[in-house]
Chains A and B, each alone.
Chain A
């Protein structure tokens, strides 16, 4: 047990050190979501008008962009595994008395801390897009980001356990990121799209993460006004969203631990 705890902090610490060193990753992880926000916002705001009373397109999209930042940062947690394998350092970690579970949880924890920091950076631009934030918003956001990020890091590490090269990993992650983001209701309310799209979006677990974050920013009233996620006539609450994301996240993390142990 002590080995597992030490694994979590040693490996988590290293993830942070690696990230600070990797400037291109810092820049791209912030620039990418911002680009979406600015370009999509500028492109669609005028044509679309208000989606619900007091909610224009940029305000609608902004919480989704935060979820997107969390998604990208978390999935890329796995690249550390692939990088370390390529350069041999993974062996140093594997022969240390750390416990495989601790190593995986450490990677996920490191990624979660990064996701929190990046969500914090995104909060700075909230006033610019006309989204109101206060301390309660921030306090509510933290647990949602943690739950979402831990699970998605699990997915990233799971993918990484099967990848031998960084190029292969990046390709696999891109293939995952795009459908996950476009079908998560970041850019459209999932209740008011064609049925086939609605079904796909409601099967996408990220949808519930986006919905939870959106309700934190825009209030539960926005969900009631048709911007939420309705399953069989029931509109999801924040707690229910978190439950869905949490259960799936636990499964993904468990799968990541299994995949990581499996490789000798």
Chain B
């Protein structure tokens, strides 16, 4: 559905995106995970025909993002980081304008508008000016608008940025329903680890390059598996038994013993049955995507201070 080969974008001397390649299957939810300034928005802008790639190529729904812009634009829906609604128009007027711009027949447009506004629970507020909406309502309206022309791929740039947890959950519910109901392919960027968990596959991007690409579970397995934490009355003896029996070097910290195993769920029953030492407690924790990010990039994902690089990217964006 989306096919990206060695896509590169420079801003002057800066390489914002460096030879990025990936593919999206139809009906997939694909996440782009990385800190601010990693090149996520630049990649989206190239895929949605707003930026011309410096090198490399990409197709969306089979259309080239440089040579067949109009066909690409018809195939995609977009929800940007910053709102792109006309705040002085009502929700209905915003959607209707979108319908005109995409040449949707009036009957289809009116039916679809109602269906989508009901889905995002804004039908009751359809005749209010958008400037009276909260941030979450605006985002929901933008999602509805992005879907009005029946796109094959929906691009979401940080769709839940700045929204409260409840609204974020609701937006995710819509997205998962849409994938189910309309077979929509979804490409999204985020720097929230917990959101990346909803994706079928994740590409981790840092400084313009993809450093890891796989399902969330497979990425976590790369960290070295699940973390087992046990407490035993005789800590030293327990640690020695783990060392000899499993060939694992456990860490002793405070009064707990920690060690990694590839598949925690299947390891534990066998471990409890056959372990010789008495135990006080056992804990199992899956590695988080934070751990994955740390392992792959050597640093933590965080909102770094706005660097010169970010400022330049933002200037690049503001030109739209």
Contacts and interface: CB of A to CB of B under 8 A. Distances in A.
Contact of A87 (B78, B87, B145): B87
Interface residues of A, number: 26
A200 B140 CA distance: 56
B52 A92 contact: no
B320 A21 contact: no
A99 B70 CA distance: 8
Contacts of B48: 95
Interface in B93-141: 97-98, 100-103
A263 B316 CA distance: 10
Interface string B38-54: 00000000001111100
Nearest to A14: B97
B190 to A, nearest CB: 19
Contacts of A263: 319-320
Contacts of A122: none
A95 B49 CA distance: 7
A224 B214 CA distance: 82
Given A3-B70, A10-B101, A164-B318, A264 B50 contact: yes
A94 interface: yes
B83 interface: yes
A57 B147 CA distance: 60
B97 A10 contact: yes
Given A6-B103, A96-B101, A91 B80 contact: yes
A88 B84 CA distance: 4
A95 B74 contact: no
A252 B187 CA distance: 40
Contacts of B50: 91, 94-95, 264
A98 B73 CA distance: 9
A21 B52 CA distance: 35
Contacts of B51: 264
Please list the 3 inter-chain residue pairs (A to B) with the smallest Cβ-Cβ separation, ordered nearest first.
A96-B101, A88-B84, A97-B73
Interface of A: 2-3, 6, 9-10, 13-14, 17, 21, 85, 87-99, 164, 263-264
16 contacts: A2-B103, A9-B100, A10-B100, A10-B101, A87-B86, A88-B80, A91-B50, A91-B320, A92-B84, A92-B85, A92-B98, A94-B50, A96-B73, A97-B70, A164-B319, A264-B319
Given A91-B320, A92-B101, A264-B50, 5 more contacts: A95-B78, A97-B70, A97-B101, A97-B102, A264-B319
